[in-house]
Amino acid sequence: MYTLTEVSKTYTQGKRTIVALDKVSLEIPDGQMVAIQGPTGGGKSTLLQMLGALDRPTTGTISLHNDDLSALPEKKLTDVRAKDIGIVFQSFNLIPTLTAQENVEMAMVPLGVGSEERATRAREALESVGLGERGGHLPSELSGGQQQRVAIARALVKKPSVLLADEPTGALDESTRDEIMDLLEKRWGDLGLTLIVVTHDSAVARRAQRRLHIKNGFVKDVA
């Protein structure tokens, strides 16, 4: 379970102080599918960075499975990111010079997984997203939807308990958007993940069990 208690995040811009998150208190149970919506600049990306252990709050605490992410030493925080949290980005973030198989394998290097096991698990992960025959292709040889499938395989191959998706369908057409969401929902259901999706798309948000809206750093549940 995620537990956020009075989490605030501020940035200094010149003489101005920008409040990205304002005393956010929130619980997200294990296994829940959550959509986060809100206007540009409302705090969605900042909240996702906190959940992904990519940044620390200015004040307040955030914990995952009883680990206080706001206070862990950097090495342990890196371990949490490597083992427990998978992240899927709008722009895919694949390494262009590596094949789909190699991109997926890279996620397991920080875990110390041996080369043979990495190869086996990467093939299985690509098969689970419908790309079993595309492992030898470079990202430039794949469609946008296929690249996002590789990114999902990369995020899931390390067997995380949490999958964070930052506008995962933002660069895709409507038909491919629905295919990717079908895939995310299936993997969420099969694996029992906590799935948190940041999106501008109400059609995507409506598929979640729970919807949160964030504006001016404040978070509330959408009825």
Distance CA 102, CA 26 (A): 37
pLDDT value at residue 171: 85
Q: Are strands 33-37 and 194-198 parallel, antiparallel or unpaired?
A: parallel
Say if residue 79's pLDDT is above 70: yes
pLDDT tens, residue by residue, 26-59: 999 999 999 999 988 888 989 999 999 999 999 9
pLDDT value at residue 22: 94
Mean pLDDT across the stretch 141-156? 95
pLDDT value at residue 156: 95
pLDDT value at residue 195: 97
From the list 206, 212, 215, 192, the residue with the least C-alpha distance to 51 is 212
As beta bridge partners, residue 198 has 36, 166
Mean pLDDT across the stretch 102-127? 95
Band of residue 104 on the pLDDT scale cut at 50, 70, 90: very high
Q: Where are the beta strands (DSSP E) in 65-216?
A: 67-68, 85-89, 162-166, 194-198, 210-215
Percent of all residues in the chain with a pLDDT value above 70, rounded to a whole number: 100
State the distance between the two ends of the chain, measured CA to CA, in whole angstroms.
21
pLDDT value at residue 223: 67
Mean pLDDT across the stretch 203-208? 93
Say if residue 23's pLDDT is above 90: yes
Mean pLDDT of the chain: 93
Angle (CA) 105 163 58, round 5°: 110
Angle between helices 115-128 and 144-156 (to 10 degrees): 130
